[in-house]
């Protein structure tokens, strides 16, 4: 992904403005793939980058990245052979225990993930596995509230990449765990809504390991000029299927060895 595109820059700007407008109005738009798909996935990342720059210029602060499409089955469904990524901004972080209003999102779904917090800058596109492991400061359980600015989640790879990898909000667990005693591949997960199981999985679902997924991300970020820095958060990918949420829902994810995290949705939209 070189962030270059053969698509007219005005078309890239048009797609970016459509998605930004949907985020502001709360009204999703038709898919943007018809505008940009001729430029391949690079065109979609160009749209994402236009909006990233806009948001940074507007005062938002970049605090990490998310990895999507870590499931091989989902990759096949969307016709791709690699994950994707999106930006995490400080205002997307919801402290555990703070109710989430549905006014903050458009079409929310939830996923359970292992979040990795980086303890050193990762500047090199040839980063090694050992360097990635050394860079992990700690891990915590996370619930990602994924969202789509595209109506009815009618997305293909161009739509989700352009739409910041369908990012929404995220909730991190408050008890950090060091990596030394954990094999993230084998960390099993159960996610419940109102105490009913809705998703199960394990770390191996993330490209074989959340470390492998994070290594992929760190290399790509260095290559495209937005390297991961000390303190950044990586949402390393869903451990199981995502689930829909409604007003008043309480979502709890338990990940063996990593801990428990809870996201509560307000009973009203205020």
- Overall pTM surpassing 0.85 (yes/no): yes
Average pLDDT over residues 199-214: 94
Residue 152's SS3 state is helix
Q: What is the DSSP letter of 76?
A: H
The span from the CA of 233 to the CA of 239, in Å, is: 17
> What integer pLDDT is reported at residue 269 of this predicted model?
55
Instruction: State yes or no: pLDDT of 35 exceeds 60.
Output: yes
Structure tokens at 175: 């008890």
> What integer pLDDT is reported at residue 225 of this predicted model?
96
Domain edges within the chain: 61-263
Instruction: State yes or no: pLDDT of 247 exceeds 80.
Output: yes
Higher pLDDT, 2 or 105: 105
Task: Identify the CA nearest to 245 among candidates 196, 185, 186.
Answer: 196
Query: pLDDT of 40-54, one tens digit each?
Result: 999 999 999 999 999
Query: pLDDT of 211-246, one tens digit each?
Result: 999 999 999 999 999 999 999 999 999 999 999 999
> What integer pLDDT is reported at residue 268 of this predicted model?
76
Q: How far apart are the first and last CA of the chain?
A: 40
Instruction: State yes or no: pLDDT of 79 exceeds 80.
Output: no
- Counts of helices then strands in the chain (DSSP H, E): 7, 11
Strand partners, 260: 254
Task: Identify the CA nearest to 60 among candidates 28, 18, 90.
Answer: 90
Instruction: State yes or no: pLDDT of 2 exceeds 60.
Output: no
Residue 48's SS3 state is helix
| pLDDT band, very low/low/confident/very high, at 193 (cuts 50, 70, 90) | very high
The span from the CA of 54 to the CA of 35, in Å, is: 20
Strand partners, 146: 109
pLDDT above 90 covers what percent of the chain? 89
Topology of the domain comprising 61-263: Fumarylacetoacetate hydrolase; domain 2 (3.90.850)
Higher pLDDT, 164 or 75: 164
Task: Identify the CA nearest to 262 among candidates 194, 167, 199, 187.
Answer: 194
The span from the CA of 252 to the CA of 44, in Å, is: 33
The span from the CA of 91 to the CA of 112, in Å, is: 20
Query: pLDDT of 113-132, one tens digit each?
Result: 999 999 999 999 999 999 99
Task: Identify the CA nearest to 246 among candidates 179, 198, 189, 183.
Answer: 198
């Amino acid at each position: 992904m070189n962030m270059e595109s053969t698509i007219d820059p005005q078309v890239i700007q048009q797609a970016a403005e459509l998605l930004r407008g949907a985020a502001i109005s709360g009204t999703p738009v038709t898919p943007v793939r018809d505008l940009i798909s001729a430029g391949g996935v690079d065109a979609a990342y160009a749209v994402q980058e236009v909006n990233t720059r806009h948001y940074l210029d507007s005062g938002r602060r970049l605090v990490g990245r998310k990895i999507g499409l870590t499931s091989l089955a989902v990759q096949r469904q969307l016709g791709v052979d690699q994950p994707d990524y999106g930006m995490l901004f400080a205002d997307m972080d919801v402290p555990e225990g703070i109710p989430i209003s549905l006014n903050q999102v458009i079409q929310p779904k939830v996923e359970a993930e292992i979040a990795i917090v980086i303890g050193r800058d990762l500047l090199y596109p040839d980063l090694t596995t050992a360097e990635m492991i050394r860079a992990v400061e700690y891990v915590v359980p996370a619930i990602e509230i994924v969202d789509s600015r595209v109506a009815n989640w009618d997305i293909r790879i161009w739509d989700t990449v352009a739409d910041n990898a369908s990012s929404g909000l995220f909730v991190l667990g408050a008890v950090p765990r060091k990596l030394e005693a954990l094999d993230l591949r084998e960390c099993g997960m159960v996610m419940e809504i109102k105490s009913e199981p809705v998703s199960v999985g394990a770390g191996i679902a993330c490209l074989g390991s959340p470390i492998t997924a994070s290594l992929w991300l760190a290399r790509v970020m260095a290559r495209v000029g937005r390297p991961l820095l000390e303190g950044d958060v990586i949402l390393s990918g869903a451990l199981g299927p995502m689930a829909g949420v409604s007003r008043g829902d309480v979502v709890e994810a338990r990940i063996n060895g990593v801990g428990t995290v809870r996201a509560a949705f307000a009973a009203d939209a205020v």
